[in-house]
Amino acid sequence: MSASNAVKIGLLGCGTVGSGVVVLLNDNRDHVTQRLGRPVEIKSILEMDTRKTDALGIAPRMVTQDIGSIIDDPEIETVVEVMGGIEPARTYILEALEKGKNVVTANKDLIALHGKELFEKASEKHRDLYFEASVGGGIPIIAPLKQSLVANNINFIYGIVNGTTNYILTKMSLEGKDYEGTLKEAQRLGYAEADPTSDVGGHDAARKISILASIAFGARVTYPDVYVEGITNITPLDIAYGKELGYTLKLLAIAKEENGAIEVRVHPAFIPDRHPLASVNDVFNAVFIRGDFVGDIMLYGRGAGQRPTASAIVGDIIEVARNSEHGDTGRISCTCFEQKRIKPISEVKTRYYLRILVKDRPGVLAGIAGVFGNQQVSIASVIQKRTEDSMAELVFVTHQVEEGNLQDSLKIISGMAIVGKVSNVIRVEGEETLI
Ligand code: NAP
Ligand code: HSE
């Protein structure tokens, strides 16, 4: 039976996350009611595939294929968008805000691309647009950045924000298996999608770090602003060589601000074994943040999955309902108040691991070192690894160098007669984040 004082919501989509929201609101009904002072009830669900709603025991009268019946329902205070994708999700959210609804969404693709438009509409209508679940699944990260840490200048964010790739890299590191085999196993176990492109290509992480960077630095960063490399070129050999050097390989999402310019990138990176992020394994996510007053913080947990993501969404629903009760929706809206330059990758300064196959004969090392020297690339260490068929593998680690200089030197080195190939280039990060 419906309680007359209940917060009524409309749910758009009843897939993995939508089902989680239904289950949480059912299982924790009393708990939620006590915390909020009134129950939260799903009044209507937009879902084409009624087998999904039937499986949850949802009455057919609550399921609709007509968005209008949710958006035009004056009883519905908050629309929860968990359909995913850009359209029609974007249009539905804009229409819901226009009609005076609050919106809770998990849709990182949409926020990372159309955030500005959506937040402007929410501000115009003095309504809440909450999106905690869009980054880090169940890990609270949006609210901490917008509220608890707002007094700090954020120096940087280093995140492991994609569970699929973290699972694959963890297995490759622990079991020495290759990328392709590990991906297949992850797909078999349900840790990777049938089409894994967005995850293994780094795009999912790029969307998430663009959202975090926008909040942290008070300037809009969109998904296309992010430099992205995925994990598909990683080999067990690189992971093993990195281990010998004291490094763990992770897909890192990095955002930094320096002198008013933002750098924002996603790529595989070696980090020191003693870095807190090095022990974040399997599908777990973590976000490591430095603020000028708070110092270092790491938030760790499950970055995806039905229950953790539902936890974040229902947390948002309750917060929005509290705001609504006090006529206070729209209080914390868009936190971007200025424009900042996004650095091209060529200006980024970091350290590099380089694996280069060369002819095994005198003068080769000196020839390569000469090119690096001319391009202002300073070598921190070099090791000669396996030798085969008169070829040797050299593994260099550089000091900090500007990416443009490194790439220029690699172009010259690749063309040298003494060089077989530049087998891999992996950035080395995180040493400056250790105290
Ligand atoms: P999902 O399992 O594919 O669920 C989406 C649901 O929405 C499906 O049931 C789909 O129905 C329905 N839907 C899509 N378009 C629709 C439309 N136009 N009208 C009516 N129903 C429609 O996806 P999900 O994993 O729950 O993810 C939902 C959102 O949460 C995405 O934005 C995702 O990025 C985000 N998210 C997911 C996770 C996670 O762990 N899964 C974590 C964090 C954030 P059909 O299948 O019948 O089309
Ligand atoms: N596909 C994502 C991951 C989960 O592997 O972390 C949804 O954000």
Whose CA is closest to 320, among 151, 166, 97, 162? 97
Whose CA is closest to 277, among 434, 156, 108, 435? 434
Whose CA is closest to 394, among 381, 377, 375? 381
pLDDT of residue 407: 98
CA 345 – CA 360 distance, rounded (Å)? 33
The DSSP symbol for 183 reads: H
Report pLDDT digits (tens) over 159-180.
999 999 999 999 999 999 999 9
pLDDT of residue 435: 60
Contacts of 373 (CB under 8 A, 6+ apart): none
Tokens, residue 361 = 């004969």
All structural domains of the chain, each given as residue ranges with its CATH number in brackets, are 7-137+306-325 (3.40.50.720), 151-301 (3.30.360.10), 345-434 (3.30.70.260)
pLDDT of residue 82: 98
The pTM assigned to this predicted structure is: 0.97
pLDDT of residue 386: 75
pLDDT of residue 388: 81
Longest dimension (CA), the chain: 85
Q: What share of the chain is helix, strand, coil (3-state, %, to 5)?
A: 40, 25, 30
pLDDT of residue 399: 97
Tokens, residue 167 = 């699972």
pLDDT of residue 71: 98
Catalytic residues: 208
SS3 at position 412: helix
Altogether, the residues listed in the chain come to a count of 435
Give the N- to C-terminal CA distance of the chain in Å, as an integer. 57
Ligand 1 pocket mutation, candidates 23, 62, 82, criterion most atoms within 8 A of CB: 82
Span from the CA of 85 to the centroid of ligand 1 (angstroms)? 8
CA of residue 23 relative to chain centroid, distance: 25
Ligand 2 pocket mutation, candidates 162, 208, 302, criterion most atoms within 8 A of CB: 162
pLDDT of residue 332: 84
CA 355 – CA 340 distance, rounded (Å)? 35
Q: Which residues line ligand 2 (CB under 6 A)?
A: 162-164, 199, 204, 303-304
Report pLDDT digits (tens) over 189-243.
999 999 999 999 999 999 999 999 999 999 999 999 999 999 999 999 999 999 9
pLDDT averaged over 10-residue windows placed end to end, the chain, 435 residues:
87 98 98 97 97 97 98 98 98 98 98 97 97 98 97 98 98 96 95 96 98 98 98 97 97 96 98 97 98 98 97 98 95 89 98 97 95 96 87 96 98 97 97 72
pLDDT of residue 189: 93
Tokens, residue 315 = 């947390």
Q: Which residue puts its alpha carbon closest to atom 8 of ligand 2?
A: 304
pLDDT of residue 182: 97
Tokens, residue 51 = 């087998």
CA 76 – CA 95 distance, rounded (Å)? 13
The DSSP symbol for 224 reads: G
